[in-house]
Chain A
Amino acid sequence: MDETIKKQLQKTACSIRMGVLTGTFHAKSGHPGGSLSISDLLTYLYFAKMHVDPKNPDMEDRDRLVLSKGHTAPALYSALAERGFFDKEELTHLRHIGALLQGHPCIHIPGVDMSSGSLGQGISAACGMALAGKLKSAPYHVYTILGDGEIEEGQVWEAAMFAAHYGLDNLTAIVDNNGLQIDGKITEVCSPEPIDEKFRAFGWHVILMDAHDFDDIERAFNEAESITGKPVAIIQKSVKGKGVSFMENQVSWHGAAPNAEQYEQAMAELRQQLAELEA
């Protein structure tokens, strides 16, 4: 990847992470850990990959994204705000009564393509969108992001079977493999591993990716784009809480908001990262 573009994406990712913290801090609740692990992915998709128009969020041929792991809405909202779908100030009202930004993604929010959050359901909707694209010969691509804990839901595998059966090569599912879910390590709760072999067995083309390396992200999506006749699953190896030292790899940050002190510390770390990128 071009170094200038990469640096810009890294800076944007930093801003999106700040938005995640701002949102969950003001909400006094929410899910920062898994939001931070998909922040680089969302940065790449919304700033380097997807065909979307913030001025026309319902544009017919836009690329679609269904955040199947809907609890990480703070990252999606932060990315959409950064991209200009709505004012960043909305993040400070996240989860408040009367606010635009609901606890989990809602289709009525500009830029949100599907309501989600009850795990295992988003991938099915993404399949429907991809099938509609095929029926209409529309040029759009559908992305869906799943948690590695989420894939314990049986519906995910019903959808995986469906997507392969109908050859939905306009669908890319990204599994955020940060290794942690609410009750602990995914391998200790009720292991969904081996994730790559499961998707392969269901007829998908599987790509492994480093979730926090834009060169590798670009490589993975370029490979995904070259695949025809079958859906693509990208298993991204990620760090839960990525970017905030005291949140990294800590399951306790799955669904807890930072207090004022923690918020300041986290923001200071991200400001430092941003300053280093700008230097």
Chain B
Amino acid sequence: MADVKKKATRESYGEALTALAEKYENLVVLDADLAAATKTGIFKKAYPDRFFDCGIAEANMMGVAAGLAASGMIPFASTFAMFAAGRAYEIVRNSIGYPGLNVKIGATHAGISVGEDGATHQCNEDIALMRTIPGMTVIVPSDDVEAKAAVEAAILHNGPVYMRFGRLAAPILNDPENYKFELGKGITVRDGEDITIVATGLMVGEAAEAAEQLAAEGINARVLNIHTIKPLDTELILKAAKETGRIVTVEEHSVIGGLGSAVADCVSENDPVPVTKIGVNDVYGYSGPAVDLLKEFGLCADNIVATVKKVLGK
């Protein structure tokens, strides 16, 4: 996919906030000393009076966001996924989730593709943590177009939203002219009847590429882009389960508690079919270039192809 344009979704986040600031005058942005990395620095430059750095104090930032939302503002609390979902989990749960406040959490640098910074900063647990919070919406956009649309959808949704963005440049797969983001509605990227590959975030592109390789070998894989992990598009997933009989999930996240678990919960409760999960297999990451790490952890088209073939016994 050398000819496809790429952009990191964290950059899309910063650009979307800036682009939407005029339209939504109550939108304010908080960060915890990572504005250059989360790309809220783009917003800060354009709207310095609506940007508040909380310093390296994520717990307080989430609480401040709660207070702002309780007073009619739409705060976007921004930091790395590790600190937003990990360090501040209990504040997000009790000060944002429980009162049901209209806080938007922009979590960047999620997953193994953080790269060289290594295990302490590679958050593979955030989807699991956030989806256990009642009333929390969890969105994992796959590319620039989807990420920007997700930011506006988050504003239009009244309630807490967790958005997961990446550090690594992701191929831009969606056409900005025709793309429509519907909260809680997955997208059929490619149709097929032999198996379904359910992907989210950065893995949507890999899944699409895998499906193309599989097609060349006579295997027609359906590819679903589940950009909203919660609420999950159970209708689309159950339809795929019924029509293709087998599911492979792929995510840049632990195989415990993330997309794979959500999909497995859904099908096992309704219409059981075998679900095979590709993700980080209950281990910590380590340092290295992001693209190489993704391959090491099997988060790539080649491993999706191999897994699908194994599942189908081919």
In angstroms, how far is the closest chain A Cβ from the Cβ of B228? 26
In angstroms, how far is the closest chain A Cβ from the Cβ of B77? 10
- Contact at A155–B70, with CB atoms within 8 Å? no
- Contact at B63–A125, with CB atoms within 8 Å? yes
In angstroms, how far is the closest chain A Cβ from the Cβ of B201? 29
A132 within 8 A of B: yes
| Contact pick for B60, options A108, A133, A155, CB 8 Å | A155
- Contact at B64–A114, with CB atoms within 8 Å? no
A107 within 8 A of B: yes
For residue A122, which residues in chain B have a CB less than 8 angstroms away from its CB? 63
Contact (A125, B66) CB under 8 Å given A161-B57, A162-B55: yes
For residue B63, which residues in chain A have a CB less than 8 angstroms away from its CB? 121-125, 127-128, 155, 159
A115 within 8 A of B: yes
- Which residue of chain A has its CB nearest to the CB of B100? A107
- Contact at B95–A131, with CB atoms within 8 Å? no
B204 within 8 A of A: no
Contact (A107, B73) CB under 8 Å given A131-B64, A158-B57, A162-B57: no
Q: List which A103-154 residues lie within 8 A (CB) of chain B.
A: 106-108, 113-115, 117-118, 120-133, 135-136, 138, 154
For residue B73, which residues in chain A have a CB less than 8 angstroms away from its CB? 132, 135
In whole angstroms, what is the CA distance A178 to B60 when docked?
25
B85 within 8 A of A: no
- Which residue of chain A has its CB nearest to the CB of B69? A128
A166 within 8 A of B: yes
- Which residue of chain B has its CB nearest to the CB of A154? B59
| Contact pick for A124, options B67, B75, B100, CB 8 Å | B67
For residue A123, which residues in chain B have a CB less than 8 angstroms away from its CB? 63
- Which residue of chain B has its CB nearest to the CB of A126? B67
Among B65, B90, B99, which residue has the most Cβ atoms of chain A within 10 A? Answer: B99
Question: What's the tally of chain A residues with a CB closer than 8 Å to chain B?
Answer: 36
- Contact at A131–B52, with CB atoms within 8 Å? yes
B98 within 8 A of A: yes
**Count of A-B contacts with CB under 8 A?**
110
For residue A107, which residues in chain B have a CB less than 8 angstroms away from its CB? 70, 99-101
- Which residue of chain A has its CB nearest to the CB of B95? A121
- Contact at A125–B67, with CB atoms within 8 Å? yes
For residue B28, which residues in chain A have a CB less than 8 angstroms away from its CB? 135
- Contact at A127–B55, with CB atoms within 8 Å? no
Contact (A162, B99) CB under 8 Å given A132-B68, A132-B71, A132-B73: no
- Which residue of chain A has its CB nearest to the CB of B67? A128
In whole angstroms, what is the CA distance A127 to B91 when docked?
14
For residue A132, which residues in chain B have a CB less than 8 angstroms away from its CB? 67-68, 70-73
Among B50, B63, B68, which residue has the most Cβ atoms of chain A within 10 A? Answer: B63
Per-residue contact bits, chain B 24-66, to A (CB 8 Å; 1 contact, 0 not): 0000100000000000000000000010101101011111111
- Contact at B59–A155, with CB atoms within 8 Å? yes
B94 within 8 A of A: yes
| Contact pick for A121, options B52, B94, B100, CB 8 Å | B94
In angstroms, how far is the closest chain B Cβ from the Cβ of A108? 8
- Which residue of chain B has its CB nearest to the CB of A114? B70
In angstroms, how far is the closest chain B Cβ from the Cβ of A61? 11
| Contact pick for B59, options A60, A108, A113, A158, CB 8 Å | A158
In whole angstroms, what is the CA distance A159 to B58 when docked?
10
Contact (A128, B71) CB under 8 Å given A115-B99, A121-B95, A154-B59: yes
- Which residue of chain B has its CB nearest to the CB of A160? B60
- Which residue of chain B has its CB nearest to the CB of A70? B94
In whole angstroms, what is the CA distance A161 to B66 when docked?
17
In whole angstroms, what is the CA distance A154 to B94 when docked?
16
Residue contacts A-B, CB under 8 angstroms, 27 given: A64-B71, A107-B70, A114-B67, A115-B94, A115-B95, A121-B59, A122-B63, A124-B59, A124-B60, A125-B64, A125-B66, A125-B70, A127-B67, A128-B71, A129-B71, A131-B64, A131-B68, A132-B68, A132-B70, A133-B71, A135-B28, A135-B73, A159-B60, A161-B55, A162-B54, A162-B57, A165-B55
Interface pairs A-B: 5 shortest CB-CB: A128-B67, A124-B63, A132-B71, A158-B60, A158-B57
**Chain A residues packing against B (C-beta within 8 Å):** 60, 64, 66, 106-108, 113-115, 117-118, 120-133, 135-136, 138, 154-155, 158-159, 161-162, 165-166
Other A-B pairs beyond A130-B67, A159-B64, 6, CB < 8 Å:
A108-B99, A115-B94, A125-B64, A125-B95, A128-B75, A158-B57
